[in-house]
Amino acid sequence: MSDTYQPHYEELVKWATPEVRQAELLEARSEFFKLTGEVFDDDRQLEMRMASFLEHYVFDRVSPNRGKTPARELFEKLQVEDAAKAPLFEGFTQTMHGLFEVRKLGQGFVRVRELFDGDDHEVTERRMLAGLNKGDIVTARLIPHLGSLWFSAAFVYHPPGSFKSILKEVKRRRKQEPARPRTELIYDCARRSLKADRYRQIAIEKIYDFVNPTV
């Protein structure tokens, strides 16, 4: 049996997106891209953003019809119908989506720090992640599976010129607005990442200016 989560994730997505749920899927897609920024066919981030949407749909979005995320719904179904298989899907109900600073790139692992909590996490990673360097800030999702943490497929990369502003805004919200949902900043940074890709003529520091937004 593979120790990665990917085959089970694909099974979850297939189970969560049947024809009878297409209307709900379209509604969820509209909601998601309003939060994170609309993408177009010529956007470099198109494929990654579609992957992000699917993850949001199965891991985060509580269905207004069923009151659960698809991940939770399938896990509870398996607990009743196939108890031996259920643990392979439990981690999908416990994923961590956040802004992370890359602290160390090692052989087979990446150590990251979640910016709001300040907690370090060691992520199993056998791939060479192109463009990922120590000190980078990325939006990522960590998936627990069989005792290890794994990155999901979807990342949002933030340019080096944005790091200082992101860290400052996280610190400000932790101190002044601790009850404010951290997802708001995650989605805000996602929108700014798209703008940084599209408007190369505008300084990154202006695009990621959380105090005096001008773009």
Q: Give which of 127, 95, 96 is closest to 109, Cα–Cα.
A: 127
Is residue 39 in a domain? yes
Taking residues 105-109, what's their average pLDDT? Answer: 90
Helix (H) or strand (E) holding 176: helix 163-176
Percent of the chain with pLDDT over 90: 88
Report if residue 59 sits inside a domain: yes
Element holding 139 (H helix, E strand): strand 137-145
Exposure string for 38-72, b = 16+ CB within 10 A, e = fewer: ebeeeeebeebbeebbbbbbbbbbebeeeeebbbb
Evaluate whether residue 140 is within a structural domain.
Answer: no
The parent domain of residue 61 ranges over: 6-92
Element (H, E) at 88: helix 87-90
Asked if residue 19 belongs to a domain, the reply is: yes
Residue 24 lies in a domain: yes
Return the percent helix, strand and coil in the chain, to nearest 5: 45, 15, 35
Q: How confident is the model at residue 4 (pLDDT cuts 50, 70, 90)?
A: confident
Residue 166 included in any domain: no
Provide the pLDDT for residue 132: 84
DSSP state at residue 58: I
State pLDDT tens for residues 137-174: 999 999 999 999 999 999 999 999 999 999 999 999 99
User: Which amino acid makes up residue 107?
Assistant: Q
pLDDT confidence bin for 118, thresholds 50/70/90? very high
% pLDDT > 70, the chain: 96
Q: State residue 65's pLDDT score.
A: 87
Q: Helix or strand or coil: residue 116?
A: coil
**What pLDDT score was predicted for residue 3?**
67
Report yes or no on 114 lying in a domain: no
H/E stretch holding 104 reads: strand 96-106
**Amino acid at the residue 47:** E
Domain count, the chain: 1
How confident is residue 45, by pLDDT bands cut at 50, 70 and 90?
Answer: very high
Evaluate whether residue 123 is within a structural domain. no
Q: Model-level pTM?
A: 0.93
Contact of 97 with 108, CB cutoff 8 Å: no
